[in-house]
Amino acid sequence: MKLLRAFDGYWFAPAPARRLALLRLLVGGFALSFLVGRLPSNLNVAGFVRAEFVPTGVVKLFLRAPLASEVVIGLACLAPVLAVPFVLGFAYRVTAPLFALVLLWVTTYRNSWGMLFHTENLLVLHVLVLVASPAADALSIDARGRPLPEPSGAYGWPARAMTWATTICYVLAGLAKLKLAGPVWLEGDLLRAQIAYDNLRKIELGSGYSSLGAALVHYQAPFLFLAVLTVALELGAPVALIGRRVALVWALAAWGFHVGVAALMAIPFPYQLSFVAYAAFFEVERAYDSVRARVERILPQRAAGKSTT
Amino acid sequence: MSEAPRPPRRLALARVPAYVVGLGTVIATAWPAFRPAHEDAFPLSTYPMFARTLDKPELSFVERLDGKRRAHRLSPEQMGSDEVMQAYRTIKRAVRKGPRATETLCRVLAKRVASREQNGREVRLRVVRARFDPVAYFVDDAEPEEREVLATCSARRTP
């Protein structure tokens, strides 16, 4: 019983409403730009060959054959439209769950053609958590004219859930390496071969590749270091749950890892590279206040400068 | 004897999504750990990318032959996808399914490419499977160790 109470205290540690609201703005803002940027790709799916359809996740629960192309196009266009009220916090209780459902559907449908991309998983999980939380109680249209609520556990648990989901995803990636390849993965030769094969595949399939990765493959030694570092980062991800300083070190290392993946394999993980994926680990409202204070310091000076000229 | 103050109703209600969705998402995210690592899904993934062992993998691709029978790789865009990995999977799945599926893919692609030809030239394609040593490919400029043409086809733009 004591343990349960301790966990409840941890899960419901009070947090300011603005922190959760800022997470909504950051994650929602990223989702909106991502869905707009990926719109051509999501529309392109409407023209895929029916025989290539391999449903996964929720799509597998409802479909055995692809949807009519008009429906695919409609949903792909609807997703960024619904992201707007999510970001603004407008009619949040209705629009946010709708946005999450459409986002989940569109990304899952995009992944239902034989290729699972792994770049959007964390974004979808974070949005699913945010829509079930009171993330529009501050910095939103819904909260206009209302006093800022007191810090509460209701504003704390979503960040907890998001950080846990983030660390678990990394641990799973580390476990997969050990499950599928075993400890030999740590020797680096497999990573070297993976980077070589990924770039080879891109060259042979007529696409852009990483010249840095192709050049590094000539050397064996760096891959031992990179392999050990990768698995340590992935399996060690739960250390980020200990405290904010450790989280900052781990998040910077994870971000550096994704920069490395993009540089050596030309595979960008946009959500992670934007650093928004790690925002839930931090007191984002402090960064917001600091930026806001600076802007306010600069703006009156400019206004004063203009009035004197 | 005084009773402990009850938590505000709103906070008590907030615990429902906190545990159902919050903890539910965490448990669901961790769930793939108990599945075989190669059984991937979305968004609940085992994240098996870059984890598999590679020896000398086979790679299938599509080539277009020009008038002098020189081969040019078909780009992912020409295959109807903006993602190289999607194009890779499409060819791989067809080849795995067998000769009929490979020939069908070849014909579908040839028709697609021919439909975009301005001058009505005949489009000749072939699906090729080759075995590579990925590291030697870059270090020694090694050619594929085995190379096999799995399907050939042609198409012309219909007026």
The whole-number pLDDT of residue A91 equals 97
**Secondary structure of residue B130 in the 3-state scheme:** strand
* pLDDT at B7 (0 to 100): 53
Q: What is the CA radius of gyration of chain B?
A: 26
Residues of B in contact with A179 (CB under 8 A): 36-37, 51
Of A189, A265, A188, A279, whose CA–CA distance to A230 is shortest? A188
Distance from the B61 Cα atom to the nearest Cα atom in chain A, whole angstroms: 6
Q: Shortest CA distance to B109 belongs to which of B141, B81, B139, B146?
A: B81
Q: Which amino acid is at B91?
A: I
**Tokens encoding A136:** 């529009």
- Is the CB of A181 less than 8 angstroms away from the CB of B138? no
A136 CB neighbour count, 10 Å cutoff: 27
Q: Please give the Cα distance from A255 to A264 (Å, whole number).
A: 14
ipTM: 0.91
- Cα Rg, chain A, nearest whole Å: 22
Distance CA A200, CA A198 (A): 6
Tell me the pLDDT tens digit for each residue of B119-142. 778 899 999 999 999 999 999 988
**Tens of pLDDT along B52-69?**
888 788 999 999 998 888
Is residue B5 pLDDT above 50, yes or no?
no
Question: Rounded to a whole number, what is the distance in Å from the CA of A177 to chain B's nearest CA?
Answer: 4
Report, as ranges of residue numbers, the positions in chain A whose pLDDT lies below 50.
309
Q: Is the pLDDT of residue B153 over 90?
A: yes
Question: How many Å lie between the alpha carbon of B142 and the closest alpha carbon of chain A?
Answer: 11
Biggest CA pair distance of chain B:
99
pLDDT digits (tens, 9 = 90+) for B95-124: 999 999 999 999 999 998 998 887 778 899
The predicted structure's pLDDT at residue A205: 83
| Residues whose CB is less than 8 angstroms from the CB of residue A35 and which lie 6 or more positions away in sequence, other chains included | A42, A79, A80, A83, A103, A106
Tally A–B CB contacts below 8 A: 207
Is residue B159 very low, low, confident or very high in pLDDT (cuts 50, 70, 90)?
low
Q: Is the pLDDT at B14 greater than 70, yes or no? A: no
Give the Å distances, CA to CA, from A174 to A140, A190, A262, B24: 38, 14, 18, 22
| β-bridge partners, B148 | B129
CA distances from A220 to A38, A181, B55, B140 (A): 36, 19, 16, 14
* Virtual torsion, Cα A241, A116, B41, B100, nearest 10 deg: -160
All residues of chain A having their beta carbon less than 8 Å from the beta carbon of residue B139 are 217-218
Distance CA A39, CA A16 (A): 35
Q: Return the residue in A110, A111, A146, A201 with the most chain B beta carbons within 10 A, the one to mutate for interface testing.
A: A201
- A-facing residues of B in 88-147 (CB < 8 A) are 88-90, 92-93, 101, 104-105, 108, 130, 132, 134-135, 137-139
Q: Are B18 and A125 within 8 A, CB to CB?
A: no
Q: Please report the residues numbered 28 through 57 in chain B whose beta carbons come closer than 8 angstroms to any beta carbon of chain A.
A: 29-30, 32-33, 36-38, 40-54, 57
User: Which residues from chain A sit within 8 angstroms of residue B93, using beta carbons?
Assistant: 52, 54, 114
For residue B37, the 8-state DSSP code is T
What per-residue confidence (pLDDT) applies to A153? Answer: 92
Q: What is the pLDDT of residue B40?
A: 94
What integer best gives the mean pLDDT of chain B?
Answer: 86
B46 to chain A, closest Cα gap in Å: 6
Average of per-residue pLDDT across B31-35: 94
